Chains A and B, each alone.
Chain A
Amino acid sequence: MSRRLPVYLVLDCSGSMSGDPITAVSQGVKALLSDLRTDPQAIETAYLSVITFESVAKQVAPLTELMSFQEPVLISGGGTSLGAALKLLTQCIEKEVQKASETQKGDWKPLVFLMTDGQPTDSWESAAAELKQKRPANIIACAAGSGADEYMLKQVTESVVKLNNLQPDDLKAFFKWVTQSIKQTSQSVAQVMADPAINLPPPPPGIVIVP
């Protein structure tokens, strides 16, 4: 079994995402998939999973290789259970990501892209603290739109970006950037790095890195 690059998309499907935003997110995922499929290295290395959260959190697509991946249907409605999402993410990583052992090479450190457009409606602080402390993955959080709180996301991870609004074009650009990041990471992990750190491509206009 070779080393895989696990990629988790954790997507806010709360009521405020209804309409254009959720459609744009669906299409973003679809575009991400077909774009990644044009990169032979990503095909052999990257594995994708999708976790959605509204009132509850659900893993709507388990960690799957790109060629067999089926895009999940995204439906919006309900609250914003970020805490549940973070807990579920931790569980999925624990269950699905291979650790290095005598008999197998472990997977590369997973990449997580978390996107939310509003304030969490459940208790999330302890789950966030655990993630930030344990660091089982490289997490990039995206505060999408004016209702999202980027400083809250800073408690989950150091790498936070902000989308100024939820327009389809901005969401599309965000997913394009996510795709580039995955490609770049899957290319660099294959090299023996003297100093491995995930280096992401610069974000497009409309997406700001939160310092």
Chain B
Amino acid sequence: MREGVEDPKQKNYPSDFLYQVICWRLYLQPDSPEIENQWKEFSKSDENYRLYREKASKVCTYLTQLWRQAFEYKLHLDEGEEVKSEFLGFLWRYLLEWMGEGENLPEQKKYDLNKEAEDYTQLFQKKLQDELCAAIREIILNSQEPKLPDFSQESLKPLDENYKQNALTQGTKQDLDVGVQGLEEDIHQNQTLENQQTQANSALQEVDLKQSSPRPKLQPEENSQSMQSIGQWKYLPVSDEIDRHTDSHAKSIQLSEDSSIIGARVRGKKHKHDGTNCDDWFEFRTTGDWTIIAVSDGAGSKKFSRIGAKLACEAAVTQLSSDLKSHELCERSSLNEWEQALERNKSWDFLCQDINLVQEALHNAMRHSLKVIDKEVKRVYDSTTYFELNDHRRPEIGDFSATLLLAVHTSVNCGGNTFDFVLTCQVGDGMLAAIHQRGNLYLLGKPDSGEHAGQTDFITSKNKLDEANLKQKTFAFFNPLKALMVMTDGVADDYFPNNPGMLNLYGDLVLNQVIEIDKPEESSINETLEKTRLRNLASVRVAEERFRENFERILGDDLTDEPREVYLRSTADYAKELEKPIEEIIKSPELLGAGASGDPMWHGAQEKLPQERLKVWLDSYYKRGSFDDRTLVILYQGVKA
């Protein structure tokens, strides 16, 4: 008998008990006189009884929907999702048997699946019971409707060998009691259908061993002590509202023979769990000799902030394109001249006009973005849709609050060598960073933080766009560039402190083959490795399992062409294995090349475009407490084409 049922005091956990009562009434749990008695005790309290009715109603609605789908299938009323429906038809047969009408079923219909049909049949039954119990539990614990069970072919593979054995020993379809007992046994043994979770280790044990936080679980895990599930991150699509953003976006431009720019943004765990929009946005464009980048993060608490983010990026990039299209920097023949040119006076203006013009253009773009948002606010001021969505308040500019990070880049020839000129400007949080060709890190941003922890400023905040303030947030870079990265705080915070965290970020992108770099010769790599703890490439391969980990992604079911799991390397852990500091690794193409040798993040990743890989990586890497939307744009020197 399951634990936690005997003691009447356990009724203090309404959820546990409600689950048991409801399952018991639906014959998903064995009968017992204790439950009857406990129910009598439990339902004495008005509050308890009300709670029962509330939860039972929800279960009722859910089950009705489930059977409805089955009947629609049987009566050919559905739209023909063949694979799924086949098994839904099973529900009706199951129901018939439940009611004892099994003998009316045509014999041949029972096994029309494949030669292992009998196993599959028991699998469906067991899975059905599992799914129903899990759904009921979820209804009781959470206020959201669980998704209807997935009975597609895909979800039943792979068939675990162990499980198949149990399925066979659980008895036949007709013997319902045995089936239910089997369910009980299974729960006690902590078995689930997922291959990955066939160990008896509960989530609790896993955490103790690793001393780190639980990975996102996609199925509720059962711990042997209680029936309550460990909270898992859900995936909910966004319900239709105005300006519904896509879950994610990725883009790239080839800038020259060996340099390109890629960018991606993804919806964070929190928004996926709540079914709300991604609040990030990015844009980039080339114009004349310039590359222009804009990244923005809408304020989480503001209703239309994602629209503010989008408008800000588009407006800024458009304005900068227009201002910089025919702008050329002066020719300077020596580095010395350039150093002088980049000096600023007391008012923080650049001494040289050609450079100062770029600063002015950046600030102009900031202000233009604000103007565009303001115009949009006026446009929707009288809209009833916006009014209703805004909790019955008229929209105002604060509801569109967003940060804005801008960067412009151009290549410069100086004394026969190519240099990269970058100018940045930032309002709000997030980060911009440049990595020198030789591997040194330059932070090109200073995040705003408001008075209190967790606060930041936005372009819509008071006085943020004052000239004096913007100049403080404008940074110049003039050096040969390995990579320029612009990101929202969803990424920046995960690599904090940013010095040297931004080097780890670049390292992670290289190690996971998101961006490909020129790999040195193997002999040269081994020579460099000899001076580290790992000695040679073979040792690096062996050590890889200590700096690489599997991650399950939180995805909607409709994304079938994306990997559900990825295998990611960590530069921080790689550095530990080599016993070398991160700075040294980033400076060394050999060490980076060694770390990046080996399998890609998932099978088939090399065939994808770099921005697709960036998108998957952004969507998959795990850092505890990191639930925000993630956006990253990188301009980098890659493999010579």
Are A38 and B204 in contact (CB-based, < 8 A)?
A: no
A175 vs chain B, min Cβ distance (A): 10
CA distance A108 to B207 in the complex (A): 23
- A193 & B454 in contact (Cβ 8 Å cutoff): yes
A67 touches B213 (CB 8 A): yes
- Is A210 an interface residue when CB atoms closer than 8 A count as contact? no
Tell me how far the C-beta of A9 lies from the nearest C-beta in chain B, rounded to whole angstroms: 17
Is the CB–CB distance between B230 and A43 below 8 Å?
A: yes
Contacts of A3 in B (CB 8 A): 453-454, 625
A44-B301 contact, Cβ under 8 Å, with A38-B142, A67-B214, A109-B453: no
B255-277: CB near A (< 8 Å → 1, else 0) gives: 00000000000000110010000
Asked whether any CB of chain B lies closer than 8 Å to the CB of A27, the reply is: yes
Q: Find the A residue at minimum CB distance from B429.
A: A192
Nearest chain B CB to A129's CB is how many angstroms away? 23
List A contacts of B273 (CB < 8 A).
40-41
A39 and B455 within 8 A (CB) = no
Interface residues of B in 221-249 (CB under 8 A from A): 226, 228-233
Bound complex: CA A28 to CA B350 (Å) = 64
Q: How far is the CB of A135 from chain B (nearest CB, A)?
A: 12
Cβ of B302: which chain A residues have Cβ within 8 Å of it? 194
Indicate if the CB atoms of B230 and A193 lie closer than 8 Å: no
With a CB–CB cut-off of 8 A, which chain A residues contact B269? 40
A152 at interface (Cβ–Cβ under 8 A)? no
A145 at the interface (CB under 8 A from B): no
Q: Are A68 and B208 in contact (CB under 8 A)?
A: yes
Within 8 Å CB of B141, what residues of A?
38
Question: Digit string of A31-66 for contact with B (CB within 8 Å is 1, else 0)?
Answer: 100110111111111000000000000000000010
Kindly state the separation between the CA atoms of A42 and B301 in the bound complex, as whole angstroms.
18
In the complex, residue of chain A having the shortest beta-carbon distance to the beta carbon of B204: A67
Among A42, A168, A194, A196, max chain B CB count under 10 A is at A194
Chain A residues contacting B627 (CB-CB under 8 Å) are 41, 44, 190
**Which residues of B in the span 273-330 have a Cβ within 8 Å of any Cβ on A?**
273, 297, 299-302
Mask, B482-508, CB within 8 Å of A = 1, is 000000010001001100000000000
> Using Cβ atoms and an 8 Å threshold, which residues of chain B touch A104?
496-497
Chain A 142-191 residues near chain B, CB threshold 8 A: 168-169, 172, 187-191
Q: Which residues of B contact A39 (CB under 8 A)?
A: 231
| A-chain residues with CB within 8 Å of residue B230 when the two chains form the complex | 37-38, 43, 67
B37 at the interface (CB under 8 A from A): no
B225 to chain A, nearest CB (A): 9
Contact B497–A192 (Cβ < 8 Å): no
Complex contact B207–A68 (CB within 8 A): yes
Bound Cα distance A45, B623 (Å):
12
Q: How far is the CA of A189 from the CA of B232 in the complex (A)?
A: 19
Please, how many angstroms separate the alpha-carbon atoms of A92 and B231 in the complex?
A: 28
Residues of A within 8 A of B12 (CB): 24, 27, 31, 168, 172
Q: Mark B432-456, 1 if CB is under 8 A from A, else 0.
A: 0000000000000000000011111
> Which B residues are CB-close (under 8 A) to A44?
213, 624-625, 627
Q: Are A192 and B456 in contact (CB under 8 A)?
A: yes
Q: Which of B125-150 contact A (CB under 8 A)?
A: 141-142
Residues 99-158 (chain A) with a chain B CB within 8 angstroms: 100, 102-106, 108-109
Q: Is B203 an interface residue (CB 8 A)?
A: yes
Least CB separation from A3: chain B residue: B625
Chain B's nearest CB lies how many Å from the CB of A75? 18
List chain A residues, Cβ under 8 A from B214.
Answer: 43, 67
* Interface check A91, CB cutoff 8 A: no
Asked if A40 and B231 sit within 8 Å, CB to CB, the answer is yes
The distance in angstroms between the C-alpha atoms of A194 and B459, with both chains bound, is 12
B454-A192 in contact (CB<8A): yes
A52 to chain B, nearest CB (A): 20
Question: How far is the CB of A6 from the nearest CB of chain B, in Å?
Answer: 13
Q: Which residue of B lies closest to A42 (CB)?
A: B231
Per-residue contact bits, chain A 18-36, to B (CB 8 Å; 1 contact, 0 not): 0000001001000100110
Q: Roughly how many angstroms separate A190 CA and B301 CA in the complex, as a whole number?
A: 10
Q: Check B297 against A2 for contact (C-beta < 8 Å).
A: no
* Cβ of B401 under 8 Å from chain A: yes
A204 to chain B, nearest CB (A): 9
Docked Cα-Cα span, A193 to B451, in Å, equals: 11
Taken together as a complex, chains A and B put the C-alpha atoms of A34 and B456 apart, in Å, by 34
Pairwise interchain contact B625-A192, C-beta atoms closer than 8 A = no
Residues on B with beta carbons closer than 8 Å to the beta carbon of A4? 625
- Chain A residue with minimal CB distance to B203? A67
Contacts of B626 in A (CB 8 A): 2
Chain A: minimal CB distance from B511 (Å): 22
Q: Assess the A34–B455 pair: CB atoms within 8 A.
A: no
Choice from A24, A27, A100 contacting B453 with Cβ under 8 Å: A100
Q: For A187, what are the chain B residues with a Cβ–Cβ distance below 8 Å?
A: 270
B458 within 8 A of A: yes
| Alpha-carbon gap, A65 to B208, bound state (A) | 11
In the bound complex, how far is the Cα of B229 from the Cα of A46, in angstroms?
17
Which single residue of chain A is at the shortest CB-CB distance from B300?
A191
How far, in angstroms, from A204 to B453 measured CA to CA in the complex? 30
| With contact pairs A34-B228, A38-B229, A67-B207 given, residues A194 and B458 touching in the complex (Cβ less than 8 Å) | yes
The smallest C-beta distance from B228 to any residue of chain A, in angstroms, reads 5
**Nearest A residue to B269 by beta-carbon distance?**
A40
Please, which residue of chain B has its CB at the minimum distance from the CB of A106?
B453
B205-225 Cβ-contact flags toward A at 8 Å (1 or 0): 001100001101000000000
B301 touches A194 (CB 8 A): yes
A205's nearest neighbour on chain B, judged by CB, is B47
Q: Is B104 an interface residue (CB 8 A)?
A: no
- Report which of A188, A189, A194, A196 forms a contact with B398, defined as CB distance below 8 A: A194
A-B contact pairs, 17 of them (CB 8 A): A2-B625, A24-B12, A27-B9, A38-B229, A40-B231, A41-B270, A45-B625, A67-B204, A67-B230, A68-B204, A100-B453, A169-B45, A192-B300, A192-B489, A193-B301, A194-B458, A195-B301
Q: Taking beta carbons and an 8 Å cutoff, which residues of B are in contact with A?
A: 9, 12-13, 15, 45, 47, 141-142, 203-204, 207-208, 213-214, 216, 226, 228-233, 269-270, 273, 297, 299-302, 398, 401, 429, 452-456, 458, 489, 493, 496-497, 623-628
6 shortest interchain CB distances as A-B pairs: A191-B300, A2-B625, A40-B231, A38-B231, A67-B207, A40-B233
Beyond A44-B624, A196-B454, 20 extra complex contacts between A and B, CB < 8 Å: A3-B454, A3-B625, A24-B12, A35-B15, A38-B142, A38-B228, A40-B269, A40-B273, A45-B625, A105-B496, A172-B12, A191-B270, A192-B299, A192-B301, A192-B429, A194-B299, A194-B401, A195-B301, A196-B452, A196-B453
